[in-house]
């Protein structure tokens, strides 16, 4: 159709094939950012655990794509990007790189350093390459800067406000000197910062090549189309949830300061058409310990929970976030006031995800999984080896997923919101004066259900240096991971310290000294089960017993399945009787 005089031609629709190519190209660029850091970083937490995330945002700061990294960073990057725009507006130039770790200016906790590199096509600002990564140390009172028993952010380490690390290509050596002087392992921290910088330059190069191929105008049209696509898919998912309000309350064992005071996590999901509002009213007020979570991190938890029930491959971008609103009262656990401590905020974010799954299960019971292990356990050991050299080692220990409808729990993997990995034993022993004496799945730890919860992991280590400060953050001992649809809870977590020739139980969160030769044993929680355990397939129970995941005793007591060995088989008559007895004992109608 020919346009009338004085009328502008409407832009032609974007070709679907081209849009898919652009989407995958940007995805490859942000993935390459992560892999660049993994290849050249100094610390194990980046190289092996991969505690980092990458993204590309457009010139308006809108998240266009996120790399193969941590979903819990998904909602934090847009807030951090907003803080960059508020600080610098349109004043950034080619060659600039901005950094910050301030939780109260778009960050999450001090070890996570955000880095932003503007990408220019000539004089036109196309967007920003973003890389956030967890660093081994940011100073503070405890090596690793992540202690749960800090009571204010000033104890947690060096706060970096929104600053230029590079100004028109010239590095700020003063900022680097300040960082180096305030951390315990400056060579590692500065090396990891250079790895982040390299990743941001990868984003710059990749997006410039993409703009050269398609043109800036066409590329920016694709940005808008990708945002609209993710928004439509998210709205479609929410519209399939019945309208109403769905609430769930879960608890954290403690705040790291008072071991006898549980911390409440409450979420209410309001569904109205194709929009969702998550209200965190009812959650505990801001606590003294360091498990307070910034609102940006709480948003990430909600976004992840909603994303997990989607059946679409729409990219994780700002369009996906448009139909979702997250609110929390001022001065509460998920919206703290400075100088509240936030170093161990991860455990609160993981619990918020579990609570959101509990709420979603009331509306769409077949979609969410039961609670997983409660989030990664995080520990750091800072001390001196046998030669008197200071060594700082940090590790995250992964556990299990809960069971779901027609989905078994998964054993020995990261919480899906973390998407990181356990460090190999050989790497740990090469990096730090530590010997790993036990690393195994725990029998009978997965919550019984029609679909069993994932098994817990037990990791036992021994410190072989002279002396050290040992910090650990865990949870899910007092409140084990819940099951769904009559599924049972997973096993609780545990911490044991070797003292005077025996093993003594210690708190879920602590900072303490570690002596030469002293051992420590941590057990993650097991995932919750989904569905009635008495409806679990008998052959599946036998399979678990033969593989050491369920004991013969638990097969009978939890599942009503009588297993015989030599040879392995199920006693059918005894199993029928056992299941009838269990049904009668709990007074419910079960399978016949």
For the stretch 100-118, pLDDT in tens is 999 999 899 999 999 999 9
**Average confidence (pLDDT) over 419-424:** 80
pLDDT of residue 590 exceeding 90, the answer is no
Structure tokens at 173: 């050596």
Average per-residue pLDDT for the chain: 94
Is residue 91 within 8 Å of residue 85, measured between CB atoms? no
First CA to last CA across the chain, in angstroms?
69
For the stretch 394-421, pLDDT in tens is 888 888 999 999 999 999 888 888 877 7
pLDDT of residue 2 exceeding 80, the answer is no
Q: State the pLDDT at residue 591.
A: 44
Measured CA to CA, the distance from residue 276 to residue 290 in angstroms comes to 29
Q: State the pLDDT at residue 6.
A: 53
pLDDT of residue 208 exceeding 70, the answer is yes
Q: Give all strands (DSSP E) within 24-123, no chain letters.
A: 52-58, 63-66, 97-100, 112-121
Residue with tokens 């947690």: 156
Strands 494-499 and 569-570: unpaired
Residue with tokens 């937490």: 45
Strands 324-327 and 275-279: parallel
pLDDT of residue 210 exceeding 50, the answer is yes
For the stretch 479-503, pLDDT in tens is 999 999 999 999 999 999 999 889 9
**Average confidence (pLDDT) over 520-547:** 97
Q: Alpha carbon 231 to chain centroid distance?
A: 23
Measured CA to CA, the distance from residue 221 to residue 357 in angstroms comes to 35
SS3 502: strand
Q: State the pLDDT at residue 1.
A: 43
Is residue 524 within 8 Å of residue 546, measured between CB atoms? no
Is residue 128 within 8 Å of residue 57, measured between CB atoms? yes
**Average confidence (pLDDT) over 308-329:** 94
Measured CA to CA, the distance from residue 211 to residue 280 in angstroms comes to 42
**Residue 76 — very low, low, confident or very high, per pLDDT cuts 50/70/90?**
confident
For the stretch 342-401, pLDDT in tens is 999 999 999 999 999 999 999 999 999 999 999 889 999 999 999 999 999 988 888 899
**Residue 340 — very low, low, confident or very high, per pLDDT cuts 50/70/90?**
very high
The helix or strand, by DSSP H or E, that contains position 583, with its residue range, turns out to be helix 572-586
Q: What angle do CA 145, 396, 163 make, to 5 degrees?
A: 40
Q: Alpha carbon 95 to chain centroid distance?
A: 31
For the CA atoms of 37, 468, 350, 100, what is the dihedral angle to 10 degrees?
-50
Measured CA to CA, the distance from residue 566 to residue 571 in angstroms comes to 12
**Residue 47 — very low, low, confident or very high, per pLDDT cuts 50/70/90?**
confident
Measured CA to CA, the distance from residue 496 to residue 364 in angstroms comes to 39
Q: State the pLDDT at residue 92.
A: 97
Q: State the pLDDT at residue 196.
A: 97
pLDDT of residue 323 exceeding 50, the answer is yes
Q: Which residues contact 430 (CB under 8 A, 6 or more apart)?
A: none
**Average confidence (pLDDT) over 212-231:** 96
pLDDT of residue 507 exceeding 60, the answer is yes
Q: State the pLDDT at residue 396.
A: 86
Structure tokens at 481: 């991971």
**Average confidence (pLDDT) over 325-330:** 97
**Average confidence (pLDDT) over 216-227:** 96
Q: What angle do CA 184, 188, 189 make, to 5 degrees?
A: 75
More confident residue, 67 or 10: 67
pLDDT of residue 99 exceeding 50, the answer is yes
**Average confidence (pLDDT) over 193-211:** 97
Is residue 148 within 8 Å of residue 495, measured between CB atoms? no
**Average confidence (pLDDT) over 524-541:** 97
The helix or strand, by DSSP H or E, that contains position 545, with its residue range, turns out to be helix 538-546
Q: State the pLDDT at residue 448.
A: 98
Q: Alpha carbon 176 to chain centroid distance?
A: 29
pLDDT of residue 573 exceeding 50, the answer is yes
* Nearest Cα to Cα of residue 481 among 306, 300, 350: 350
Residue with tokens 């900072």: 511
Residue with tokens 């170093």: 343
Q: State the pLDDT at residue 312.
A: 86
């Amino acid at each position: 159709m020919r346009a009338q005089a004085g009328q502008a031609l409407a832009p032609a629709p974007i070709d679907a094939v081209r849009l898919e190519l652009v989407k995958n190209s940007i995805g490859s660029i942000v993935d390459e950012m992560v892999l660049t850091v993994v290849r050249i970083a100094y610390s194990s937490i980046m190289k092996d655990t991969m505690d980092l995330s990458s993204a590309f945002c457009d010139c308006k700061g809108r998240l266009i794509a996120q790399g193969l990294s941590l979903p819990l960073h998904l909602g934090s990057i847009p807030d951090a990007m907003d803080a960059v725009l508020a600080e610098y507006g349109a004043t950034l130039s080619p060659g600039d790189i901005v950094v910050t770790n301030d939780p109260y200016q778009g960050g999450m906790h001090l070890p996570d350093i955000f880095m932003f590199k503007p990408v220019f096509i000539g004089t036109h600002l196309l967007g920003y390459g973003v890389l956030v990564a967890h660093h081994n140390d940011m100073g503070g009172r405890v090596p690793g800067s992540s202690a749960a028993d800090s009571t204010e952010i000033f104890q947690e380490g060096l706060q970096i406000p929104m600053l230029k690390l590079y100004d028109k290509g010239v590095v700020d050596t003063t900022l680097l000197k300040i960082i180096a002087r305030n951390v315990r392992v400056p060579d590692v921290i500065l090396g990891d910062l250079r790895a982040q910088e390299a990743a941001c330059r990868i984003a710059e190069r990749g997006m410039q090549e993409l703009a050269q191929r398609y043109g800036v105008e066409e590329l920016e049209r694709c940005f808008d189309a990708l945002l609209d696509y993710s928004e439509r898919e998210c709205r479609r998912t929410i519209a399939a949830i019945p309208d109403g309000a769905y609430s769930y309350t879960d608890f954290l064992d403690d705040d790291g300061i008072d071991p006898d005071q549980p911390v409440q996590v409450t979420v209410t999901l309001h569904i109205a058409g194709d929009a969702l509002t998550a209200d965190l009213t009812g959650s505990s007020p801001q606590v003294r310990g360091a498990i307070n979570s910034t609102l940006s991190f709480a948003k990430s938890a909600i976004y992840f929970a909603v994303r997990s029930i989607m059946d679409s491959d729409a990219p994780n971008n700002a369009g996906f976030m448009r139909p979702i609103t997250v609110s929390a009262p001022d001065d509460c656990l998920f919206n703290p006031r400075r100088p509240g401590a936030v170093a161990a905020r991860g455990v609160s974010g993981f619990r918020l995800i579990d609570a959101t799954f509990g709420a979603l299960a009331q509306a769409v019971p077949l979609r969410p999984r039961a609670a997983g292990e409660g989030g990664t356990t995080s520990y750091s050991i800072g001390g001196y080896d046998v030669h008197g050299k200071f060594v700082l080692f940090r590790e995250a220990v992964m556990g299990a997923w809960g069971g779901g409808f027609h989905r078994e729990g998964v054993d020995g993997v990261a919480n899906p919101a973390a998407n990181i990995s356990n460090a190999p034993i050989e790497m740990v022993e090469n990096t730090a004066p530590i010997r790993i004496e036990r690393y195994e799945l725990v029998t009978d730890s997965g919550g019984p259900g029609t679909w069993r919860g994932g098994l817990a992991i037990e990791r036992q280590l021994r410190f072989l240096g002279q002396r050290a400060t040992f910090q650990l953050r865990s949870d899910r001992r007092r409140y084990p991971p819940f099951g769904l649809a009559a599924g049972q809870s997973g096993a609780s977590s545990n911490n044991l310290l070797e003292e005077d020739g025996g093993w003594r139980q210690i708190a879920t969160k602590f900072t303490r000294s570690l002596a030469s030769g002293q051992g420590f044993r941590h057990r993650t929680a097991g995932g919750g089960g989904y569905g009635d355990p008495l409806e679990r397939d008998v052959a599946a129970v036998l399979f678990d017993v033969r593989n050491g995941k369920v004991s013969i005793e638990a097969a009978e007591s939890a599942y009503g399945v009588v297993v015989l060995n030599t040879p392995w088989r199920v006693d059918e008559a005894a199993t029928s009787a056992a299941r009838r007895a269990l049904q009668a004992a709990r007074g419910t109608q079960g399978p016949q």
